Amino acid sequence: MNRLLLVLLLAPFSMAAQSTLNDLDGDGCVGATDILVILGQYGECQDTTAAFACGDSVLFDNYWYETVLIGDQCWFAENLRTTVYADGTVIPAGLTDGEWVSTISGATAVYGEGSSGCDNYSPDIDACDEAQSLVEYGRLYNWYAVDDARGLCPSGWHVPSDSDWISLELALGMDESEAISEGFRGDVGGLLKATHGWWLGEPGGNPPQEASNSTGFTGLPGGMKNFGIGYDDDGGIYGCWWTSSPSPSIENAWNRLLYWYTNHIVRQSEDYWTNRNNGLSVRCLKDPE
């Protein structure tokens, strides 16, 4: 033990000073047992230099994200909810519906937050309750936030590209010809879908497809913030995630959808859901070593 520490610990103090500063065992005086308290804590410090292993949690913007290994890729196991870019700059939030549909800068929102309208089809999540929505779905981002050079993900991570998603889908067992096609492809989405939160459908209509979430991806139907009117669309019906890949059209970008009634994974670049002013969910992917 440091000799100065011993001197300080055993030096005479007033009882008040002893009880507030050096009385580590709380017995009202400073003595040998207080030294034992210090010795008992030796080696309990967290090793902040330990190498990251997929499955460890990642701290970003005061929130710990769970991670999961799928194939040879390490993914966040939940949607992004950061309110700042990687450099600490605040992402604009709290936009009105009119501001949301007209902005060409990065923006974020919570499903059900101050919207002129909100859908909730989930049987066990109140998607239009802002607090519940944030806990379950994280935040929604327009594609301008995804494309911002400051980065949406923490250092060492990135928003996955269209090719990154294809690698994930191939690891799930999707056929290569399906993986590079557009639309509904590869009946493997149930491996990514959470086992709760999905609409049960209309009586006599299409039944929901059973999901196993065997990958631990925990994809939830967080809906989207509509690019046309700022309306919060279809919470409980589908989950929709941005990729970092722009589409041929300057108005759109590639994304992925999971629906309640099918386990196909939808890949698209030129559709209603791909407009860059839509607010969609985002995942982060570990950079290659």
- Which structure tokens are listed for 49? 């230099």
List the single range of 12-26, 162-176, 274-288 with lowest mean pLDDT.
Answer: 12-26
* 276 sits in which H/E element: none
Question: Is the separation of the CB atoms in 108 and 83 below 8 Å?
Answer: yes
List the single range of 41-50, 55-64, 166-175, 248-257 with lowest mean pLDDT.
Answer: 41-50
Q: What's 78's DSSP letter?
A: S
Closest C-alpha among 261, 257, 259 to residue 209? 261
Find where tokens 């494309």 sit: 147
Positions of E strands within 156-236: 157-158, 183-185, 224-225, 232-235
User: What number of other Cβ atoms are within 10 A of residue 148's Cβ?
Assistant: 17
CA–CA distance, 65 with 81 (Å, rounded to integer)? 9
Question: Exposed, middle or buried: residue 161 (CB in 10 Å: 0-12, 13-18, 19+)?
Answer: middle
DSSP string, 251-288: TBEEEEEEESS--PEEEESSSGGGBTTSBBB---EEPP
Residues in the chain: 289
The b-or-e profile of 239-264 (16+ CB within 10 A means b, else e) is bbbbbbbbbeeeebbbbbbbbbebbb
CA–CA distance, 193 with 273 (Å, rounded to integer)? 19
Instruction: Give the pLDDT band (50/70/90) at residue 73.
Output: very high
SS3 of residue 190 by DSSP? helix
Specify the pLDDT at position 114. 81
Given a cut of 50, whether residue 14 has pLDDT beyond it is: no
Question: Is the separation of the CB atoms in 238 and 223 below 8 Å?
Answer: yes
SS3 content of the chain, % helix, strand, coil (to 5): 20, 25, 55
List the single range of 57-66, 110-119, 147-156 with lowest mean pLDDT.
Answer: 110-119
Closest C-alpha among 154, 115, 120 to residue 283? 154
Dmax over Cα atoms in the chain, in whole Å? Answer: 82
* Mean pLDDT, rounded, for 62-80: 98
* Mean pLDDT, rounded, for 18-44: 54
Specify the pLDDT at position 12. 44
For the packed helices 32-40 and 3-10, what is the interaxial angle rounded to 10 degrees? 140
Q: What's 40's DSSP letter?
A: H
Instruction: Give the pLDDT band (50/70/90) at residue 19.
Output: very low
> What are 197-241's pLDDT values in tens digits?
999 988 777 778 889 999 999 999 999 999 988 899 999 999 999
